[in-house]
């Protein structure tokens, strides 16, 4: 979607300055990978967030703006989250969706230069199709507020869910999936001071959450993510930068992270 196509039209309730700011604060790849409908939705959500910020006592207490809707054309549920960027945001959102009992099949994550983030998750039922569990959305919203506003750790709950799933599979040993050979590759872009991580591995409950959390715990920020899951295989790409932008990315540190991710996906 070319920016001019949106800029040529007014959006009710959104002043032109906000629309122009949206286009100037995001990289070109956002507009390449987004439709006009998606961009307008994001603009409305950003507007809601900015209104909240004006009324809030502190940014840290702000609940994210969440849009959860079924897409019959995609046969998936699409969850958009717009919020103020904060430490470990991406992995926490992935964890909240995991605890809602849904399958994350694809995602897009991107940040504006004013630290407002736009995360889009494409999710399905275990057997495919849009989410029909009426409690899934409320469960997700509860866990998002718990971890982002109240600082609750989601890892213990994810651990319990994964253990229960493994026990269920063990009881049905004939249903164990074939083991896919895992692969982790790193590419360093010196000109942009960022690194690209590509992961291919057998998918399992909480995998995206654990990879993203591991990246964050090793002092890297995920600035962009492209996630895809097909036939039980996760194919994930992460663009990462040093959590302290002014610092160079250390090669030894990257090799350590690669080894840790490799151990994780093969575990």
Superfamily of domain 180-267 in CATH is ACT domain (3.30.70.260)
What is the total residue count of the chain?
267
Listed residue (49, 60, 208, 221) closest to 147, CA to CA? 60
Give pLDDT tens digits for 138-173: 999 999 999 999 999 999 999 999 888 777 766 655
- The H or E element that residue 143 is part of is helix 136-148
R_g over Cα of the chain: 19
Q: Where in the chain are the domains?
A: 1-176, 180-267
- Nearest to residue 111, comparing CAs of 229, 11, 224, 261? 224
pTM: 0.87
Q: In what order do the strands lie in the sheet with 116-124?
A: 65-71, 76-84, 116-124, 103-111, 220-230, 233-242, 194-202, 183-189
| d(C-alpha 48, C-alpha 121), whole Å | 20
**pLDDT tens-digit readout, 175-215:** 545 567 899 999 987 766 679 999 999 888 899 999 999 99
CA distance 185 to 187: 7
Over the chain (267 residues), the average pLDDT of each successive run of 10 is 60 89 91 90 96 77 91 96 92 96 89 94 92 96 95 94 78 57 88 85 91 95 84 90 80 93 93
């Amino acid at each position: 979607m070319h920016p001019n196509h949106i800029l040529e039209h007014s959006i009710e309730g959104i002043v032109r300055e906000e629309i122009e700011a949206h286009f100037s604060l995001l990289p070109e790849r956002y507009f390449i990978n987004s439709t006009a409908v998606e961009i307008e939705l994001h603009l409305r959500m950003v507007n809601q967030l900015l209104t909240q910020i004006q009324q809030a006592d502190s940014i840290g207490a702000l609940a994210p703006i969440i849009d959860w809707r079924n897409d019959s054309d995609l046969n998936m549920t699409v969850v958009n989250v717009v919020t103020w960027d904060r430490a470990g945001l991406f992995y926490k959102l992935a964890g909240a969706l995991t605890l809602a009992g849904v399958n994350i099949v694809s995602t897009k994550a991107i940040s504006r230069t004013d630290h407002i983030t736009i995360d889009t998750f494409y999710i399905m039922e275990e057997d495919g199709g849009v989410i029909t569990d009426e409690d899934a959305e409320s469960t997700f919203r509860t866990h998002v507020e718990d971890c982002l506003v109240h600082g609750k750790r989601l890892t213990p709950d994810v651990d319990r869910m994964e253990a229960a799933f493994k026990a269920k599979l063990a009881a049905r040993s004939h249903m164990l999936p074939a083991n896919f050979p895992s692969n982790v590759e790193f590419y360093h872009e010196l000109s942009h001071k960022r690194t690209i991580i590509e992961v291919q591995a057998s998918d399992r409950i909480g995998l995206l959450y654990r990879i993203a959390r591991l990246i964050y715990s090793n002092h890297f920020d995920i600035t962009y993510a492209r996630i895809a899951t097909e036939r039980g295989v996760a194919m994930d790409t992460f663009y990462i930068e040093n959590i302290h932008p002014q610092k160079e990315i250390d090669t030894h540190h990257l090799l350590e992270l690669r080894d840790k991710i490799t151990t994780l996906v093969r575990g």
